[in-house]
Amino acid sequence: MTGLRSTKPVTGASLGYDWSELVQEDRVHRLIYADPQIFAAEMSNIFGGIWVYIAHESEIPNANDFVTRRLGQRPMIVLRDSAGKLRALFNRCTHRGTTLTRAEKGNAKSFSCPYHGWNFLNTGQLRGVPWADGYACDFRDSTYNVAQAPRVESYRGFIFVTLNEKMPPLRDWLGGITKPIDEWLDRNPGGKVKVCEANRFKFKGNWKLAYDNSSDGYHVIYSHRSLIETEARFQDGPKGMSYYKNSPDSLDMYVKYTGNGHHFKDKRPNLEKRPGGLWAIESVHPGMEHVEEKFRRLYGARADSLLDLAGSEPVNINIFPNLSLLGNHIQVFEPVSVNETNAVWYGTMIEDETGELGEAVQDINALRMRTQEQFPNFGEVDDLANFEQIQRGLDCLEDEWVYMHRGLGIAGRIKHHPDGSITGPATDEVFMREYIAQWRRLMECDPDLTVTREIAP
């Protein structure tokens, strides 16, 4: 076969780059954000080659429920089959390749292809084709079943998929980031959230620009100045983002890298440790005064802890490569092309299965929804504008480097812990250096991605 071009998807190893030249200790090359070939390789090495968040179990609670999503650029149907098993099917008919469903969500025991009507059970198995006697093949052969991800696992409701059979179990891959995820969930009675509809943003920039920003405490006071000033006009006392105003590095908040690209920024140590301490820093959004007055009237001393449940948890928990838990939201980054990304903010409600919160849960969840009208509407746009302008700046071909060396080389500033985690002040770029080093290690590989068409029970 020498001399013939491979039909395998491009991988990082096949590109021929010196990855240690592109990713150095203090800087990265503009190409990692701007080269379409690198983006194409990321769709194998990262979005497919490792565990990637794809949907939440609460979006498909019942048998036969499905949602359509993407794994990198692959259209996917994430579903619970008729037996209740989670599956991630390629949204692609095995006949001539059209998508099997164009709906965003639904409930279906089977999918009939809109083109020629081949019908597939939601296990992926081909059930029948119109006028099968026109074919000489045996349609019982698994060749004709829908391709699906060989591995689908969930952690506390968060569903991840990979096409790489060699990946360790999801729980091991998440490692130390499970602790803040657990804490984020367990602050709610019952320890569960239900994912709701989303605020959908797009920006003309590379997906990593959003992940670079996900624990960036350095930009807040500059990029979000107008939002901070608005808060100050409407409300008394310091709010969440005002921590960054004066000398943020002397406060107790910190950024922590936990391995495999995952990291989080934790502002909780800055809070007053008392019921109502979280509510006290909640930024202005519609409905707050009304519910606060009602809760104080109805629930007396219990009102503070109930209001805290509507408050935005001051953490940014980032699970590489595409998921952030922040405040009351889940943000998902969807790469569209080398310079185009969707940033989707899903609201979350508390699932009060034991009824512990009584009628208060309705107001708490309504307030949690209305936090969508705060940062996502007024802060996210600041960030997206920056990402788009970075992508423009990166078109200066001869100006090659992007720096991420804040905190590097200052004795005692970055701390390495026995569990392998690394911490630094909240304005440090240490998380960026660590995750991009992980990105480099992943891009050096030639992962063997597979799909399955065998219908395991």
Look up residue 166 and give its amino acid.
K
Q: Whose CA is closest to 185, among 355, 421, 349?
A: 349
Q: Whose CA is closest to 170, among 330, 52, 262, 332?
A: 52
Shortest CB 422 distance to Fe ion, Å: 22
Give the β-pairing of 254-259 and 329-337.
unpaired
Q: Which residue has the tokens 């729980």?
A: 171
* 101 vs 324, beta carbon nearer ligand FES: 101
Interface residue with ligand FES, options 17, 118, 173, 244 (CB under 6 A)? 118
Residue 95 interaction partner, one of ligand FES, Fe ion, none, beta carbon < 5-8 Å per kind? ligand FES
Binding of residue 363 to Fe ion (CB under 5 A): no
Residue 383 interaction partner, one of ligand FES, Fe ion, none, beta carbon < 5-8 Å per kind? Fe ion
Three-state SS annotation for 298-358: HHHHHHHHHHHHHCCCCEEEEECCCEEEECCEEEEEEEEECCEEEEEEEEEEECCCCCCCC
Which region, judged by CB under 6 A, interacts with ligand FES, from 13-21, 111-119, 195-203, 397-405?
A: 111-119
Interface residue with ligand FES, options 8, 20, 25, 96 (CB under 6 A)? 96
Residue 355 interaction partner, one of Fe ion, ligand FES, none, beta carbon < 5-8 Å per kind? none
Shortest CB 63 distance to ligand FES, Å: 25
Shortest CB 322 distance to ligand FES, Å: 29
Question: Taking a C-beta distance cutoff of 8 angstroms, is the pair 348, 198 a contact?
Answer: no
Interface residue with ligand FES, options 102, 109, 116, 171 (CB under 6 A)? 116
What is the contact mask toward ligand FES in residues 266 to 285, using x (rule: CB under 6 A)? Answer: --------------------
Distance CA(163)–CA(172), nearest Å, equals: 17
Interface residue with Fe ion, options 383, 428, 429, 434 (CB under 5 A)? 383
Eight-class DSSP state of 5: P
Interface residue with ligand FES, options 35, 82, 85, 95 (CB under 6 A)? 95
Binding of residue 308 to Fe ion (CB under 5 A): no
* 96 vs 166, beta carbon nearer ligand FES: 96
Shortest CB 90 distance to ligand FES, Å: 12
Interface residue with ligand FES, options 109, 115, 166, 385 (CB under 6 A)? 115
Shortest CB 129 distance to ligand FES, Å: 7
Q: Which residue has the tokens 């930024």?
A: 283
Alpha-carbon separation of residue 350 from 96, 311, 313 (angstroms): 43, 12, 13
Residues whose CB is less than 8 angstroms from the CB of residue 182 and which lie 6 or more positions away in sequence, other chains included = 156, 191
* 118 vs 295, beta carbon nearer ligand FES: 118
Question: Taking a C-beta distance cutoff of 8 angstroms, is the pair 120, 133 a contact?
Answer: no
Distance CA(382)–CA(226), nearest Å, equals: 9
The residues binding ligand FES (CB under 6 A) are 93, 95-96, 98, 113, 115-118
